[in-house]
Each structure stands twice: as C-alpha cells, then as structure tokens.
C-alpha cells in the first residue's frame, strides 16, 4: 500500500505550493454548496426581496462570483486559474437558502476551492443582509458536491451524502 501524504506539505512538514507546471490542461469542473439557515419568515423576506438591506439574492450571486475569482488571494496555496464559467444559484427551503456554486476551467488543477469559495462567499453575503432581522442565522453544510477532470477522476456525492 502506498503511503498517502498531504500534497501541500513537504517531508519536513513545511507548506509549499504544488508544482503543476508539467501537468496537462484539461476541462475541470466542481460544484459546492452551503446553506444559510434562518427562520421561515426571514426566508420569505429574502425571496420577496424585502429585507431592510434590499434584494439580497442578486448581491449574493455577484459576491459568490467575485469570491471564486479571488480564491488564490485568500487561500494561500491555491493556484490562480483562468475561470471560464461561474454559476451561483439559490434554492428555497423552509428554514434555509441552499446555495449551489458551479465553476469550470480549462487548466492544470481543479476548481474545488473556487466552487467552495463561491458558495461560502454568497452565504456570507446573505448572512450580512439577514443579520438585522435574525442574529441567530447560521451558515452550515459547506462541502464539495462533485468534481470532474484531472488525474484523480470524476466523483459526485451520492444520496448517502458522503
């Protein structure tokens, strides 16, 4: 059995940026999610565009897109990537807004971090708009849902959740 090790940690324990210069560019995609959990009446205000700070969803969508584009600026060992497409969508639940972000690139490394950053930045933006009406709102269930492209292959979260 081959010993697994963290790709961003050298044998001496120091952090480093992985060398991707010899990797072949391929089409890569990733989807990630986050949920803003709040009260049902706040969900109503969000989807009606009637929060005290205004229509939260378009602002959160743009925040998510901007977050994905700036991922290497806030996650120290991420490579800057030419992102070809970023989508941020919102799904209404009884006591939550589920945010789903999808990111695509043609590059040498995956876009999971960009998808996670898009989803969480959108969730943070939503939190900022609801905190005046619900100080107990929370951001939960942040995770990658799927990825494709690259040497490690494709995978997707199954119905069992892991």
142: domain CATH number is 3.30.70.640
Reduced to 3 states (helix: H, G, I; strand: E, B; else coil), residue 68 is helix
| Residue-level pLDDT at 2 | 46
Longest dimension (CA), the chain: 57
Question: Is residue 21 over pLDDT 80?
Answer: no
Whether residue 9 is contained in a domain is answered as: no
Whether residue 157 is contained in a domain is answered as: no
Q: What is the b/e burial string over 16-43, where b = at least 16 CB atoms within 10 angstroms of the residue's CB? A: eeeeeeeeeeeebbbbbbbbbbbeeebb
Whether residue 12 is contained in a domain is answered as: no
What beta strand segments (E) does the chain contain? 26-37, 83-92, 96-107, 138-148, 155-156
Whether residue 152 is contained in a domain is answered as: no
**pLDDT band for position 161 (50/70/90)?**
low
Q: What is the pLDDT of residues 122-136, one digit of tens each?
A: 999 999 999 999 999
**Number of domains the chain contains:** 1
For residues 88 and 160, which has the higher predicted lDDT (pLDDT)?
Answer: 88
Whether residue 80 is contained in a domain is answered as: yes
Q: 81: domain range?
A: 36-147
Question: Could you say which of 55, 89, 128, 141 is catalytic?
Answer: 128
Whether residue 56 is contained in a domain is answered as: yes
**Pair 46, 55: CB distance under 8 Å:** no
**pLDDT band for position 8 (50/70/90)?**
low
Whether residue 10 is contained in a domain is answered as: no
128 is catalytic: yes
Whether residue 7 is contained in a domain is answered as: no
Question: Is residue 1 over pLDDT 50?
Answer: no
Tell me how crowded residue 54 is: count the other CB atoms within 10 A of its CB. Answer: 10
Q: What is the pLDDT of residues 43-80, one digit of tens each?
A: 999 999 999 999 999 999 999 999 999 999 999 888 89
């Amino acid at each position: 059995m081959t010993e697994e090790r963290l790709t961003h940690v050298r044998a001496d324990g120091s952090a480093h940026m992985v060398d991707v210069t010899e990797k072949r560019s391929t089409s890569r995609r990733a989807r990630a999610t986050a949920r803003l959990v709040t009260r049902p009446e706040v969900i109503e205000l969000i989807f009606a565009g009637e929060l005290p700070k205004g229509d939260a969803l378009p602002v959160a969508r743009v925040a998510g897109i901007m977050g994905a584009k700036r991922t290497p600026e806030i996650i120290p060992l991420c490579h800057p990537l030419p992102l070809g497409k970023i989508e941020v969508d919102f799904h209404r639940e009884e006591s939550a807004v589920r945010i789903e972000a999808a990111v695509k690139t043609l590059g040498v490394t995956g876009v999971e971090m960009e998808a996670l950053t898009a989803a969480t930045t959108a969730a943070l933006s939503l939190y900022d708009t609801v905190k005046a009406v619900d100080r107990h709102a929370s951001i939960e269930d942040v995770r990658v849902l799927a990825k494709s492209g690259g040497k490690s292959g494709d995978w997707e979260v199954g119905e069992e959740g892991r």
